[in-house]
Amino acid sequence: MTKKNESGCGPDVLVAEKKRITPAPDASAERNHVTRLSTGLIHVNPMQPRRIFRDEALSELIASVREHGILQPLLVRQKENRFELVAGERRLRAAKAANLPDVPVILIDIGDQEALEIALIENLQRDDLNPMEEAEGYRELAGRFGLTQDEIAKRVGKARASVANRMRLLDLPSGIKKLLESGQLSAGHGKVLLGIEPDAEKELLARQIVRDSLSVRALEKTIDRGRKPTKKPRAEKTDLPIDYVRHLSDKLHQHFGTAVHINSTKTLSNGKKIKGSIQIDYYNSEDLTRVLEILGITSDDL
């Protein structure tokens, strides 16, 4: 059974709304009732939005059809002197692969626009369309039949923003659209990439998504990091000449018998002072005691 979409409007509801059924060109095809047609008489709908059929999923359906037959009738319409499929291409493919001589169908009388709407709804309800197939189906409704995004949304039971976002994916470079079709990128990835310029940068990020298996959130963070300006080092100057600091370090080294590191105080461009430091190295407790004695500090003072 086909599940309902957000509007509660599925292919069966659309079929029920049709006002008339034309006589079928074959006497065996009853009008608006379940009947059977030879698989060889049914032509694929050229406006079918779905183009990619996964071999694994189709193999499972073929096995099921061999065992149980076709349980849900296909929707078929009469167009001129032939039968054209409206909904159920996976079932038709499986029936042919399973060598079924005929399949159950419901013959309906609808035009091109309604045929495309039903095909879209059936696939959307089953989550069978990839983002590009969905976007191109909407474009077909808009371009061929002049429907607005609001009208499309109402017909397929989607929010207008969802339809608009899908159609925007059509503006992506062809290489990225192929990644969306294959499932390597999600619609969420595509939406984020739309905000990147130029196209070469979009494609570079798309390859990184695939290579590193980036989530949409990880992609957004990557883009944000790239947009942050590099902080310029603050202008500063040391308060003591370098040669003097080096000379003083050597003197202290001789005095303590160990390395002494001097970091001079610095003055930033805004006038702020950064403190200096002196570091005296020692290597064990005896060496520390020796250094402390040179400084005039004995164990009695600790």
List the single range of 41-45, 104-108, 227-231, 292-296 with lowest mean pLDDT.
227-231
Mean pLDDT in residue range 56-82: 85
Classify burial at 251, counting beta carbons within 10 Å of its beta carbon; exposed 0-12, middle 13-18, buried 19 or more.
exposed
Side-chain half-sphere of 91: how many Cα atoms within 13 Å? 20
Position 230 scores a pLDDT of: 60
Position 51 scores a pLDDT of: 67
Q: Is the pLDDT of residue 64 over 80?
A: yes
Q: Is the pLDDT of residue 71 over 50?
A: yes
Q: Is the pLDDT of residue 158 over 70?
A: yes
Q: pLDDT of 192-229, one tens digit each?
A: 999 998 999 999 999 999 999 999 999 999 888 877 66
Catalytic residue among 56, 84, 89, 140: 89
Mean pLDDT in residue range 52-58: 69
136 a catalytic residue: no
Tell me the C-alpha distance between 47 and 123, whole Å: 13
* 6 vs 207, higher pLDDT: 207
Nearest CA to 77 among 45, 51, 49, 101? 45
Residue 4 main-chain phi, psi, to 5 deg: -75, 150
- Alpha helices per DSSP H over the chain: 11-16, 55-68, 89-97, 112-125, 131-145, 149-156, 160-168, 174-182, 187-193, 199-212, 216-227, 242-256, 285-294
Position 224 scores a pLDDT of: 86
Distance of CA 10 to the CA centre of its chain: 26
Confidence of residue 17 (pLDDT cuts 50, 70, 90): very low
Report yes or no: 205 and 222 within 8 Å, Cβ to Cβ: yes
Q: How many CB atoms lie within 10 A of CB 246?
A: 11
Confidence of residue 302 (pLDDT cuts 50, 70, 90): low
Distance of CA 26 to the CA centre of its chain: 46
Position 126 scores a pLDDT of: 65
pTM for the complete prediction? 0.54
Q: How many CB atoms lie within 10 A of CB 171?
A: 11
Average model confidence (pLDDT) for the chain? 81
Strands 273-274 and 266-268: antiparallel
At CA 122, angle to CA 118 and CA 127, rounded to 5? 145
List the single range of 164-178, 184-198, 229-243 with lowest mean pLDDT.
229-243
Mean pLDDT in residue range 29-53: 77
Domain boundaries, the chain: 11-129, 172-231, 236-301
Q: Is the pLDDT of residue 6 over 50?
A: no
Report yes or no: 251 and 227 within 8 Å, Cβ to Cβ: no
Mean pLDDT in residue range 242-263: 86
Q: Which residues contact 256 (CB under 8 A, 6 or more apart)?
A: 280, 291, 294
Is domain 11-129 in CATH 3.90.1530.30, yes or no?
A: yes
**Both structure tokens of 285:** 């407790």
Q: Is the pLDDT of residue 58 over 90?
A: no
Nearest CA to 45 among 90, 86, 94? 86
Position 283 scores a pLDDT of: 81
